[in-house]
Amino acid sequence: MRTYLECYPCFLRQALDGARLAGADEQQQRDILERVLDLLKSAPLTLVPPAIGQRVHGIVRDETGVPDPYQAVKERSTREALALYPWLRGIVAEADDGLETAVRLSIAGNIIDMGPNPTYDLRDEVKRVLKEPLAIDDSGALGDSLRDARTVLYLADNAGETVFDRVLIEAIEARVIYAVKGHPIINDATAEDARAAGVGQVAEVMNNGSDSPGTLLEGCSDEFRRTYQEAEIIIGKGQANYETLGEEGSRIFFLLQTKCPVIARDVGKPVGSLIVHQGQDNGPGRGYEKERGL
């Protein structure tokens, strides 16, 4: 998905949030914003938003010298989510369809996000997501694919959300490779964050070698790219994976909440929608068709 002009204010806000988390003083914050203003002037709108986000947060790390401004935020998110873990497992155990419920919980965990939407209440979110209809519901196809697969590549999103992913992975019988970021970017999970959430107990944790949100294949390691190419079925969590891999075909299922108006318009559903969307093999995905009125 391309970048839209509405993303500009959001990139500035993210830069400011990141700068403050890194402890930047006002002069440093201003210096960071000036570099982001230059970046936005020169960046082509044909880039996917995570390619710009990657550079924005790179500027924050570079100017402040802080390698992981979101470290404390990530640790807190993981702690808070782990406190809910027994409750979440119980919900799945008591469900009529454990896999579908675990899919929903994984989507509930996607509310954890320091990019577009930094405030939420986890328990309320779980309750909401368990009872609301999915705005795009390819969960039948996802269930079939998961039951048939021997191996699933699971592309992680945020720290804390990892705990909800763990609950879904426990409901999947196939072997799961859980791919996380190679380097810190916003509050996205790294291998350390995934292990702190206990994902290492239920999946093979591998890092993708990249410091971009989502999955920008050209910046990933050769090893990750090989795993990606060979994967039978892929789960992509969160907006950024949809933005970067939305046109990569039907073996990818995107599990996300629409947390910003740009994504919402692209998928053709309101902000706050719950999405299980299977990519399409013939041509680009739903959003692209929608844009052309197909």
Residues that bind a copy of itself (CB under 8 A): 5-6, 8-10, 12-13, 16, 26, 29-30, 33-34, 37-38, 40-41, 45
Q: How far is the CB of 48 from a copy of itself (least distance, A)?
A: 17
Q: Give the tokens for residue 6.
A: 């509405």
Minimal distance, residue 181 CB to a copy of itself, in Å: 25
Measured CA to CA in angstroms, residue 234 lies from 74, 155, 160, 162, 237 at distances of: 24, 7, 20, 16, 10
**Least spacing, CB of residue 24 vs a copy of itself, in Å:** 10
Residue closer to a copy of itself, measured from CB, 38 or 144: 38
Tokens describing residue 262: 């740009």
Nearest distance from C-beta of residue 33 to a copy of itself, angstroms: 6
Q: Which is nearer to a copy of itself, 6 or 62 (CB)?
A: 6
Q: How far apart are CA 208 and CA 32, in angstroms?
A: 27
d(CA 116, CA 158): 12
Count CB neighbours of 44 within 10 A: 9
Instruction: List the 233-237 sheet strands across, edge first.
Output: 136-137, 274-278, 252-257, 233-237, 151-155, 175-180, 204-207
- DSSP assignment of 60-116 equals HHHHH--S-TTHHHHHHHHHHHHHHHHHHHHHHHH-SSHHHHHHHHHHHHTT--SSS
Minimum CB separation from a copy of itself for residue 291, in Å?
12
Nearest approach, Cβ of 103 to a copy of itself (angstroms)? Answer: 32
Please, which residue, 33 or 82, has the CB nearer to a copy of itself?
33
Q: How far is the CB of 45 from a copy of itself (least distance, A)?
A: 7
Q: Which is nearer to a copy of itself, 34 or 173 (CB)?
A: 34
Distance CA 142, CA 252 (A): 9
CB 163 within 8 A of CB 197: yes
Measured from the CB atom, the residue of 24 and 274 that comes closer to a copy of itself is 24
62: left (phi over 0), alpha (psi -120 to 50) or beta: alpha
**Nearest distance from C-beta of residue 8 to a copy of itself, angstroms:** 5
Between 21 and 163, CB nearer to a copy of itself: 21
- What are residue 151's DSSP bridge partners? 175
Full 3-state SS string of 258-270: CCCHHHHHHHCCC
Nearer to a copy of itself among residue 26 and residue 96 (C-beta): 26
**DSSP assignment string, 238-261:** HHHHHHHHTTS-TTEEEEEE--SH
- Closest to a copy of itself by CB, 10 vs 134, is 10
